[in-house]
Amino acid sequence: MRQTRSDNMSRIMTARMGQSSSAYSNARKQWVEFKDGRKYFFRSGWEVKYANYLEMVTKSKEVLHWTYEEDTFWFEAIRRGVRSYTPDFKIYFADGTHHYHEVKGWMDQKSKTKLKRMAKYHPKETVIVIAEREMKQLGLI
């Protein structure tokens, strides 16, 4: 029963992608199109600023390229609560490696749970949280 409800909610949330959500009602949501034709729907102004920063870094060849919300990780052993996680940015480097960057204006309990489960169930993946301190260090806020 719980599994069915969770699966149904996942389908509903997937269908809502790109639509307004009360959870992010104060965030500046917007579509942004980049010069190479990629178009993404960002859920916050910080994500837009970080995407523009990544575009700049890509031009300096530190980063090969990046994508937004490319991968979703499932926590198969979990039967209730947070069962999946989609990092904000996937950053590809010249040496063939990649990292995930999560832009966070605040860290709520659900976000903490996602990051803890990500570390437990997908330990080979690197997730870096870009919070207020990092945004300030980069001169983005």
For the segment 87-104, what is each residue's pLDDT rounded down to a tens digit?
Answer: 999 999 989 999 999 999
Q: What is the mean pLDDT of residues 32-53?
A: 95
* Mean pLDDT, range 19-24, rounded to an integer: 47
Predicted local distance difference test score (pLDDT) of residue 69: 97
Domain ranges in the chain are 30-137
**What is the pLDDT, as a whole number, of residue 21?**
46
Q: 30-137 domain in CATH 3.40.1350.10?
A: yes
Asked if 99 and 126 touch (Cβ cutoff 8 Å), the reply is yes
- Predicted confidence (pLDDT) at residue 27 exceeds the cutoff of 90: no
pLDDT at residue 107 tops 90: yes
Q: Is 53 helix (H, G, I), strand (E, B) or coil?
A: helix
